[in-house]
């Protein structure tokens, strides 16, 4: 028995489902999840000591590679002063100012401990600012597991949402409206019907939770116009795309400015951190200056701030994003070309250090098209790559991530594994 199998068996006795986040359980691909013991650069090492090229990067944060020396040094220095104070520290301000240099749309921000907290708080703030209850989200976009967001579409484009998880009250779900991603006509119809009752529209400007989908040209601009016309707060969930697809996230890459932005992952450098921020007049509605309450005992934790600040410092290196985008593009195009040589239909997309691979005949631009992809061949490809030392996301609905430590040699090893994997399918 592999060590990972034993560890999963033991974990299942005391941890619900054997894991602390569902996608880790390998239910979407079958088999036993891999338990890891350490990581360095682009590599993960499991409990048996086997090496894997990592394309998850802790689901995004490890843009500068695992166990980055500068990040580790920053954390070591921080912990000598204590782990948490429950009181203000100067590094919180340093971190906030640094984030603002990347995201000029954020006049003010507030730190929290997760992306879920960030999106939940941003929605509450938008409701308090507008005095409205209804929110709009999109099929296939995931914004954390707060009740208002675990809602799926009803039977028609203009119907109220219904809970997508037990434990979410129907009375709460009715305040959440769902739209198909990349369908501007559907958004226009919804806003024409109910626009004046909507508090906010929250969207992943480039999706990462139904794999990676880039919006159609003019789509985000159209949503921005609708929000302006109806006094709706536009929220970009850039927990994944922030600092990933470009220095200033998807809003910089695509040229559309939201009212509020939610961040996470990279700003913690691997530690649990989230943030939300935007226009000063909206942010000033937060307590203690305003009536909208939001709090967190460990928000702005000094150790997490140190890890995040060191990570953001690494991103300022000359040519960092040009090199990262080229590496990611080369890997994705190489895998797609190898699939074609093997007679397998595959589509690929990338931006910055984020990518998506789809087993499909045509480009994928919507949630419906994602669900139509060949899931069976994905499962077989995932395990074929895993057996050859390449760790991909264990779900065809998740985007992948590349770090600055993925060298040409690492990409070549990846493509060798892909070639052999396609031949085995």
d(CA 216, CA 228): 20
Active-site residue among 265, 379, 397, 419? Answer: 265
Q: Are 20 and 367 in contact (CB under 8 A)?
A: no
265 in active site: yes
DSSP tag of 259 = S
d(CA 297, CA 122): 18
Length reported for the chain: 425
Alpha helices, H only, 21-68: none
What is the dihedral sign for C-alpha 388, 392, 393, 397?
A: negative
Q: Burial of 288 by CB count in 10 Å (0-12 exposed, 13-18 middle, 19+ buried)? A: exposed
* Dihedral of the alpha carbons of 311, 109, 151, 229, in degrees to the nearest 10: -130
d(CA 184, CA 220): 9
* Dihedral of the alpha carbons of 19, 21, 23, 27, in degrees to the nearest 10: 40
Q: Classify 67 as helix, strand or coil.
A: coil
Q: Is 296 left (phi over 0), alpha (psi -120 to 50) or beta?
A: beta
Q: How far is CA 74 from CA 37, 89, 237, 304, in A?
A: 22, 15, 27, 10
Q: Burial of 64 by CB count in 10 Å (0-12 exposed, 13-18 middle, 19+ buried)? A: buried
Active-site residue among 43, 52, 129, 142? Answer: 142
Give the strand pairing for 51-54 and 43-46: antiparallel
R_g over Cα of the chain: 21
Active-site residue among 183, 237, 379, 419? Answer: 237
Catalytic positions, written as ranges: 142, 237, 265
């Amino acid at each position: 028995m592999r060590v990972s199998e034993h560890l999963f068996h033991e974990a299942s006795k005391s941890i619900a489902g054997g894991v602390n986040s569902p996608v880790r359980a390998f239910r979407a691909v079958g088999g036993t999840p891999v338990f890891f013991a350490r990581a360095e650069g682009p590599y993960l090492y499991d409990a048996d000591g086997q090496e894997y090229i990592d394309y998850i990067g802790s689901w995004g944060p490890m843009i500068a590679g695992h166990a980055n020396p500068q990040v580790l040094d920053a954390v070591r220095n921080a912990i000598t002063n204590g782990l948490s104070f429950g009181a203000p520290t100067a590094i919180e301000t340093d971190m906030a100012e640094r984030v603002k240099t990347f995201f000029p749309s954020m006049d003010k921000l507030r730190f929290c401990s997760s992306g879920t907290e960030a999106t939940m708080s941003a929605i509450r703030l938008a409701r308090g600012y507008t005095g409205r209850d209804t929110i709009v989200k999109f099929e296939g976009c995931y914004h954390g597991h707060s009740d208002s967001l675990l809602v799926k579409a009803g039977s028609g484009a203009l119907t109220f949402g219904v809970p997508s998880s037990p434990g979410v009250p129907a009375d709460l779900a009715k305040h959440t409206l769902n739209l198909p991603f990349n369908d501007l006509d559907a958004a226009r119809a919804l806003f024409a019907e109910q626009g004046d009752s909507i508090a906010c529209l929250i969207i992943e400007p480039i999706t990462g939770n139904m794999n990676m989908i880039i919006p159609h040209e003019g789509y985000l601009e159209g949503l921005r116009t609708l929000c302006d016309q109806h006094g709706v707060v536009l929220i970009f969930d850039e927990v994944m795309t922030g600092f990933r697809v470009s220095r200033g996230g998807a809003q910089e890459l695509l040229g559309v400015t939201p009212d509020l932005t939610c961040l996470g992952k990279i700003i913690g450098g691997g530690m649990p951190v989230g943030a939300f921020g935007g226009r000063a007049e909206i942010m000033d509605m937060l307590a203690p200056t305003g009536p909208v309450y939001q709090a967190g005992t460990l928000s702005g934790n000094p150790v997490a701030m140190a890890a995040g600040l060191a990570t953001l410092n690494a991103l300022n290196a000359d040519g960092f994003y040009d090199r990262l985008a080229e590496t990611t593009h080369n890997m994705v195009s190489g895998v797609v070309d190898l699939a074609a040589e093997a007679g397998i239909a595959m589509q690929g997309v990338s931006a910055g250090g984020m990518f998506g691979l789809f087993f499909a005949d045509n480009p994928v631009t919507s949630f419906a098209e994602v669900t139509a992809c060949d899931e069976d061949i994905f499962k077989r490809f995932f395990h074929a790559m895993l057996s050859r030392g390449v760790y991909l996301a264990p779900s065809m609905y998740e985007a992948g991530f590349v770090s600055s430590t993925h060298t040409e040699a690492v990409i070549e090893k990846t493509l060798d594994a892909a070639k052999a994997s396609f031949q085995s399918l």
